[in-house]
Structure 1
Amino acid sequence: MRTINYIVLHCTAGPQDQPTSEILSYWKNVMGWTNPGYHFEINTDGFIEELFPIEKIANGVAGHNANSIHISYKGGVDNKGRPFDNRTDAQKAAQIHLIYKLKVKFPHAKICGHRDFPGVTKACPSFDVNDWLKTIKL
């Protein structure tokens, strides 16, 4: 098992109803990636899709993928494409559930947002992860 230092939260920065197949196709056909960007993706109803085994390296944050697990929720932008935290209650509950589960397995992993890494200019995941973690007592 690889060493996990980060559990990274993301948003897809697309419509909340965007099919996962479109996201996977974008990574493969536009970005040219062999591996997907996230290990898990959370739909608006809270359903967690496992896109890639956590034992393998996904492409979530350049330079930090070897020691990270990536979790994304569908959404993260308003109808004009601007960053916006539009997580549903079900998505938040699923994030909490998944984070707790991963923290049991990787107790020393830091939970952070994509935007929290040095050199990242994206707003992803469209909310302040540290502030949110305080509200859920994590």
Structure 2
Amino acid sequence: MRPITLIIVHCSANKAGSALRMADIDRYHRSLGWIGCGYHYVIPTDGTVEPGRPEEMVGAHCKRHNRYSIGVCYIGGLSADGKPTDTRTEAQRTALRSLLEQLHRRYPNALIVGHRNLDPQKACPCFDAVREYRDLNP
């Protein structure tokens, strides 16, 4: 297994209420010539945790950090007028926390961060993941 030092939280940069699923992201990423969904997990608005790339495979979600990270993406992140905002549904909040708790147990030394913590040009995931999940960080 590859060493995991980061668990990176993303948003899909879609408007609140988007019906996007992992299969849609997978199709889009394949259209770019990728081998499939760049995230390891996708959480649609109903709170289902949908697996993307297997954890053993390097993701394609955060330049310079893919080799040693797990990428988790919730669907949403934009307000109705297209501005970055935390659009997580209650089901997404619950599912995301539960998934991060599971990943933290598997990778206890991995730091949970938002994409924006590694790329200041990004607003993703449109909330402060470090602060929200500080109880899970090493």
TM-score, normalised via structure 2 length = 0.89
> Is the CA contact 1:35–1:57 (under 8 Å) kept in the aligned structure 2?
no
Query: How big is each residue's C-alpha offset from its partner over 1:94-135, in whole Å with a ceiling of 9 and x where there is no partner?
Result: 111111111111100000001111x4411110111122224x
Partner of 2:20: 18
Amino acid at match of 2:114: G
The number of residues matched between the two structures is 134
Q: Take 2:28 and 2:93, find their aligned partners in 1: how far apart are those partners?
A: 25
Q: Take 2:81 and 2:24, find their aligned partners in 1: how far apart are those partners?
A: 19
Q: Take 2:87 and 2:133, find their aligned partners in 1: how far apart are those partners?
A: 17
> Is the CA contact 1:40–1:52 (under 8 Å) kept in the aligned structure 2?
yes
> Is the CA contact 1:8–1:68 (under 8 Å) kept in the aligned structure 2?
yes
**Runs of 4 or more above 3 Å deviation:** none
> Is the CA contact 2:61–2:71 (under 8 Å) kept in the aligned structure 1?
yes
TM-score, normalised via structure 1 length = 0.89
Q: What is the deviation of 1:44?
A: 1.2
Partner of 1:89: 90
CA 1:35–1:23: 2 relative to 1, 3 Å: closer
Amino acid at match of 1:4: I
Identity %: 38
> Is the CA contact 1:35–1:59 (under 8 Å) kept in the aligned structure 2?
no
Residue segments in structure 2 that go unaligned for 5+ positions in a row: none
1:25-40 pair list within 5 angstroms: 25-29=27-31, 31-40=32-41
> Is the CA contact 1:39–1:50 (under 8 Å) kept in the aligned structure 2?
yes
Partner of 1:55: 56
Residue segments in structure 1 that go unaligned for 5+ positions in a row: none
Q: Take 1:113 and 1:6, find their aligned partners in 2: how far apart are those partners?
A: 10
